[in-house]
Structure 1
């Protein structure tokens, strides 16, 4: 395996979606920086984060697109769904309205990503259990009925944040190993290790803020 910035075997593209204020940016920051941002500003359009993880002995670079939850940005953010290998749908356990909108977010995820995209439901702010407005059992039932992986997490304490991102990657990697995910498909959301000669990749196309529809994923 090569050294430096190409010290990984695969790139997985993730998107984070959900209503405004559910903590999408805070979850991303907790996962990539291991820190809690007490005053997360609302995302305008999209933001971007990366982290290299290890799954079954393979180094994998996660490219994570954090999308705005406001309705006025939906036309822009929908373009980032294309070619996503993983989609994390977030709701706030203390705000039932964010849970009630999950069906809409799931419809977008199912319609705009590929059939093999791993969709993970996360109930954020588990540290605010005293203010809970959505029970674990009803969210788990929703996840089971829709074939989603599910966990409650806290961007503040870090509880289950790592697990959600890693479990999504493990599921994607399993799909690669069993052949159900075609790496040659334009919409797979996965790229093999970049070539040593500096060929442009998903990373160089998207990380600089270029048009997401032009990415090679």
Structure 2
């Protein structure tokens, strides 16, 4: 049995082309895949990090942004401990789609899910269409945490996922998460287990 104390499910959502897969690959593999194709259905990667001396496994689910996959991806919201809603700071359309994504979160996700709003591609300064303060104001209005990232330059990518790991660990220790939404190993015994489908669609 792998030695880790907490297992959390993190799901990335947002329009196609905003850089969700690149964020996941940058964090889990340290790579920026040029010419990355669109995700088909749902894919996931795993990375174990350390929070205050304890190992935390993040199961990171990368969902397709295209409308035709929406019925598939919505099922992954329910068991998510954290949702990362990503838009492209260089694409007004991706920002204007945020209310639709928020509606899906309200409809399908747990009311206790930790939600981050991420403006990706912050390295594209000359192409920026969404000012930082506009993204911040939107996140505050809907009570989300906000961060701008660049998967290409690795700016704030590590911070994004580590902040989530730290916050979820904190909530768990304060018993704010339901027992069936995480996996805790105590003295080698499993006290609660969440069953998650780990297939690539």
TM-score of the superposed pair, with normalisation by structure 2: 0.92
> What 5-or-longer segments of structure 2 have no aligned partner?
none
> What 5-or-longer segments of structure 1 have no aligned partner?
211-217
Check conservation: 2:7, 2:56, Cα contact below 8 A: yes
Offset at residue 179 of structure 1 (A)? 2.1
Check conservation: 1:6, 1:193, Cα contact below 8 A: no
- RMSD over aligned Cα atoms: 2.2
Deviates more, 1:66-75 or 1:164-173: 164-173
SS in 2 for 1:193: strand
Change beyond 3 A, Cα 1:98–1:202:
same
SS in 2 for 1:74: helix
Deviates more, 1:98-107 or 1:17-26: 98-107
Offset at residue 129 of structure 1 (A)? 1.1
Change beyond 3 A, Cα 1:57–1:128:
same
Offset at residue 209 of structure 1 (A)? 4.3
Task: Specify the alignment match of 1:81 in structure 2.
Answer: 77
For residues 138 and 64 of structure 2, the distance between their equivalents in structure 1, rounded to whole angstroms, comes to: 23
Matched, 1:115 2:106: no
SS in 2 for 1:14: strand
For residues 102 and 207 of structure 1, the distance between their equivalents in structure 2, rounded to whole angstroms, comes to: 27
- Equivalences, count: 201
Deviates more, 1:169-178 or 1:32-41: 169-178
SS in 1 for 2:124: helix
**From 175, 178, 187, the counterpart of 2:174:** 178
Task: Specify the alignment match of 2:184 in structure 1.
Answer: 192
Task: Specify the alignment match of 2:197 in structure 1.
Answer: 206
TM-score of the superposed pair, with normalisation by structure 1: 0.86
For residues 154 and 185 of structure 2, the distance between their equivalents in structure 1, rounded to whole angstroms, comes to: 30
Matched, 1:40 2:36: yes
Q: Deviations for 1:53-88, whole angstroms, at most 9, x for unmatched residues?
A: 111221110001100000010001101111100100
For residues 163 and 41 of structure 1, the distance between their equivalents in structure 2, rounded to whole angstroms, comes to: 25
Q: Which runs of 4+ in 1 moved over 6 A?
A: none
Q: Which runs of structure 2 are paired with 1:124-143 in the superposition (5 Å)?
A: 124-143=120-139
